[in-house]
Structure 1
Amino acid sequence: MNNSPFRRLSRRHFMSAAGSAGVGAFGVPPIFQHALAASDVNLDAAGQAAMDREGPILVVVELTGGNDGLNTVVPYGDDAYYNARPRIGIPAGDVRTIDDHFGFHPSCKGLAELYDRGELAIVHGCGYDQPSFSHFISMSYWHSAAPNSGESSGWVGRAAANLSPTPRRDYIINVDERPSQAVRNPVHPALVFDQPETFRRDGVYEQQPLFDELVGDPGASESNLSFLSRSARDARQSAMLVREAWDAYRSDVDYGINVGLAQDLRKIVALIDARMPARFYYCGYRGNSFDTHVHQVDVHARLLAYATDAIRGFVDDVERIGRADDVLMLVFTEFGRRVPENISLGTDHGTATPVFLAGAPVAGGQYGEPPSLTELDDGNLLHTTDFRRVYASAVGNWMGADPRAVLGGDFEPIPAVASA
């Protein structure tokens, strides 16, 4: 006789117990994240086939820490810039020229190349009303796309749910150690992994015997055990597909220094090439790296080189696999920096910042009104573009979701992205 407590556990009691037992997204043990979101859904063959069709893909990259937009897209034609930054301002002769007013930081070779090819849009002055200078709070606002609201779900997750109101396996993939709030939603649990070669959706050690029982019992008659067994098998299959895609990945595309963001973007290309059903990918330059309070000049130069080389490499790599027309990248940070440099040869938390759209689907160029460097709010830029206008372009124009439903309001899309 099998005395497993699972055979006596209702779905309601399981959910309650799971909520206090583990460390996965939404407080649920990792092996059950797929199960809870898809508890009453079983994809039939037609649904799976529809899910697997190629279509538009959105890749979101966050630059954690608050990237200094003024030293990334440098207003070298404005004397106010050099007056505010006499020691850390980028010399006019060093910038990678965009026009007679703006130029890229000299380390932004990758962005400059994409811009020259017409595959990069710069959206100036992105921000929101009543800005927060806290990393955690401001990033939460960008993740939720609902500043000062307390919203806990994410804009990427809501876009996925709007496109497909019924659960689809591996519809959202988040390359990181833990899921971002941006992918949170009640329909599609994100597939979250860091290192594909060791990725297993097996849960922690204490959960392994239960996981093995579920996977090994495909004929279970109890509805609770049946749906959990099916979901556990799906989770293990997803992990296997990730490992196989990474094992098969070969590319000679130059991503610059192959660390951090470059590695994560390679993983995403591997999955796209393997025809994973994901329509949304999320990753970031981790570790609060762009928080350049002290001795910014050298540190920021390295960060920009690593990040922008990786971004250019990604765009080139999706072209290599024949998917360039299918993939749009959006790059953001939680806030910019204050206009004046600080006493430590760095910059402090600020407000408005440029957002970038990259890839073959982009109508390259500059969009939005650049903020004034003299009309400031206590040394901070006044934002000129609500960042949700960029999101509206990505989820509405590109992905085909309803931007009003996703973003909770009417935000005019930036005309840098045509319909897919």
Structure 2
Amino acid sequence: MRRATRQSLAVRSRHHSPLVFNDPRTFRREGAESEKNALARMTADGARGNATLEFLAGTAQNAAESSEFVRQAAAAYRTPVDYGIGGLSGQLRQVASLIHAEMPTRIYYVAYQGNSFDTHVHQADPHARLLAYTADAVRGFTQDLKRIGRADDVAIVMFTEFGRRVEENGSLGTDHGTATPMFVVGNHVKGGLYGTHPSLTELDDGNLIKTTDFRRVYATMIEEWLKFDDSPAVLKGSFDSLGVFA
């Protein structure tokens, strides 16, 4: 499930359509009342032995049930935990509400909107502020999970779609780069640094040279956390897991 305005490549699949929404309060069927009534009748009447209608009715029913579940879970959730401010705080709070409501979802995906970390200009202050927002949101989320008794059930993976170059550009920022850190957070994580720090002087056309393939992190999550033993089928290649979890 993703909390956003559109489906991300990170959760796209040939075989599964993720649940995507931005505001749980408006996660419902919109349109003319006649359309809503027709959809409700189609769902209620059932498929009547027609495979196509059966598929459509099932899809409509699943959408209606998911919408109702999400809206009720979000509306009912109360927490004293401070998630801070910034783009992730509200999203992670909504994830906590769905976990608390026992939504049968294995993967939740949240993200900053609008390329917040794409710091080509005056990077220093905005970057530090965004890191503080992120730390506050993740801290609040982990504290809330502990409060509701679900901290042992959740692992967090933090990543960015692209890194930054080492050298400062002419606008007091940095341009798109390749290698970037990833973080794994959770009660079962064996803390520490996996891999080695990249060199700041030995570069590839101005880019950091990666020391750990990011697909090893994905293989780790697939095999060690989700307990799916065929990560090559997902990643289209074989990658050693990192042994992150105790």
TM-score interval for Structure 1 and Structure 2 normalised by the shorter chain: over 0.9
Correspondence 1:236 to 2:64 = yes
Match of 2:87 in 1: 260
Correspondence 1:387 to 2:232 = no
Correspondence 1:290 to 2:117 = yes
Q: Which has the larger Rg?
A: 1
Q: 1:413: Cα distance to partner?
A: 1.0
Contact 1:285 1:307 in 2 (8 A): no
Percentage identity across paired residues of the two chains: 54
Match of 2:7 in 1: 179
Q: 1:302: Cα distance to partner?
A: 1.4
Match of 1:51 in 2: none
State the SS of the aligned residue for 2:90.
Answer: helix
Contact 1:372 1:382 in 2 (8 A): yes
State the SS of the aligned residue for 2:108.
Answer: strand
Q: Which residue of 40, 53, 57 maps to 1:225?
A: 53
Q: 1:297: Cα distance to partner?
A: 1.3
For structure 2, the 5+ residue unaligned runs are none
Correspondence 1:245 to 2:73 = yes
Q: 1:390: Cα distance to partner?
A: 0.6
2-structure distance, mates of 1:295, 1:334: 20
Correspondence 1:310 to 2:148 = no
Q: Which residue of 397, 401, 405 maps to 2:233?
A: 405
Correspondence 1:351 to 2:185 = no
Q: Which residue of 366, 371, 375 maps to 2:198?
A: 371
TM-score (norm 1): 0.55
Q: 1:221: Cα distance to partner?
A: 4.6
1-structure distance, mates of 2:51, 2:197: 58
Contact 1:199 1:239 in 2 (8 A): yes
Change (3 A) 1:204 1:181: farther
Correspondence 1:75-86 to 2 at 5 A = none
**Deviating runs (4+, > 3 A) in structure 1?**
203-210, 218-223
Q: RMSD of aligned C-alpha atoms? A: 1.8
Contact 2:47 2:57 in 1 (8 A): no
Q: Which residue of 195, 214, 222 maps to 2:42?
A: 214
Correspondence 1:139-154 to 2 at 5 A = none
2-structure distance, mates of 1:185, 1:296: 34
State the SS of the aligned residue for 1:367.
Answer: coil
1-structure distance, mates of 2:41, 2:10: 33
State the SS of the aligned residue for 1:235.
Answer: helix
Contact 1:394 1:417 in 2 (8 A): no
1-structure distance, mates of 2:180, 2:51: 51
Q: 1:230: Cα distance to partner?
A: 3.0
Change (3 A) 1:222 1:319: same
Contact 2:159 2:182 in 1 (8 A): yes
Structure that is richer in strand per residue: 1
2-structure distance, mates of 1:400, 1:348: 37
Q: 1:349: Cα distance to partner?
A: 0.9
Contact 2:152 2:187 in 1 (8 A): yes
TM-score (norm 2): 0.93
Contact 1:367 1:414 in 2 (8 A): yes
Correspondence 1:323 to 2:133 = no
1-structure distance, mates of 2:163, 2:232: 26
1-structure distance, mates of 2:211, 2:122: 29
2-structure distance, mates of 1:179, 1:290: 19
Match of 2:17 in 1: 189
Q: 1:388: Cα distance to partner?
A: 0.3
Change (3 A) 1:318 1:226: same
1-structure distance, mates of 2:163, 2:14: 31
Correspondence 1:299 to 2:126 = yes
Aligned residue pairs, count: 244
Match of 1:10 in 2: none
State the SS of the aligned residue for 2:65.
Answer: helix
Amino acid paired to 1:184: R
State the SS of the aligned residue for 1:286.
Answer: coil
Correspondence 1:266-277 to 2 at 5 A = 266-277=93-104
State the SS of the aligned residue for 1:330.
Answer: strand
Contact 2:120 2:175 in 1 (8 A): yes
Q: 1:227: Cα distance to partner?
A: 3.3
2-structure distance, mates of 1:334, 1:226: 39
Contact 1:174 1:192 in 2 (8 A): yes
Change (3 A) 1:211 1:356: same
2-structure distance, mates of 1:366, 1:287: 30
2-structure distance, mates of 1:276, 1:305: 29
1-structure distance, mates of 2:43, 2:129: 46
